[in-house]
Amino acid sequence: MLLCVALAVSACSEQSGARERQLTLRTESGDHVIAIEIAATEAEKSLGLMYRTSVPEMTGMLFPYDHPQEVTMWMRNTYVSLDMVFIRADGVVHRIEANTEPLSERIIASQGPVTAVLELAAGSAEKLKLKLGDRVLHSMFKSAGK
């Protein structure tokens, strides 16, 4: 039975093309490990978390960029509210847009150069006490492991 579930999950992950990994949010309340999917290709970034009916707690999707840049996001075809965390090249949280409106086409901008955006279930940032200046630990950031 567990093998069937594992195979089904694996097939879904392969189908979406996103690779599952982990990152750590280092906050005043401690380190929090988040299971992530990485939207590495333009197609994966365009699809993001669209059409999903839930985002489990302590999971998210990471949108990496090759170099620091102004990034814009929206909630088109996204059925669940999200917290968007905009992250600088050094892994520092630059901006948080909490509790986004599902299905909205309002542009949500990073308001400065970032190299990644992390999407989490709405309310996660508050629950984890994530704030501006906190660190995201992952191999893609210069601060990884610090």
Domain ranges of the chain: 18-137
Predicted local confidence at residue 19, as pLDDT: 53
pTM of the shown model: 0.84
Q: How far is CA 143 from CA 16, 28, 95, 111, 135, in A?
A: 29, 17, 17, 21, 8
CA distance 27 to 16: 30
Pick the CATH number of 18-137 from 2.40.30.20, 2.60.120.1140, 3.40.190.10, 3.30.110.30: 2.60.120.1140
In this prediction, residue 142 has a pLDDT band, given cuts at 50, 70 and 90, of confident
Residue 119 tokens, joined: 């999407």
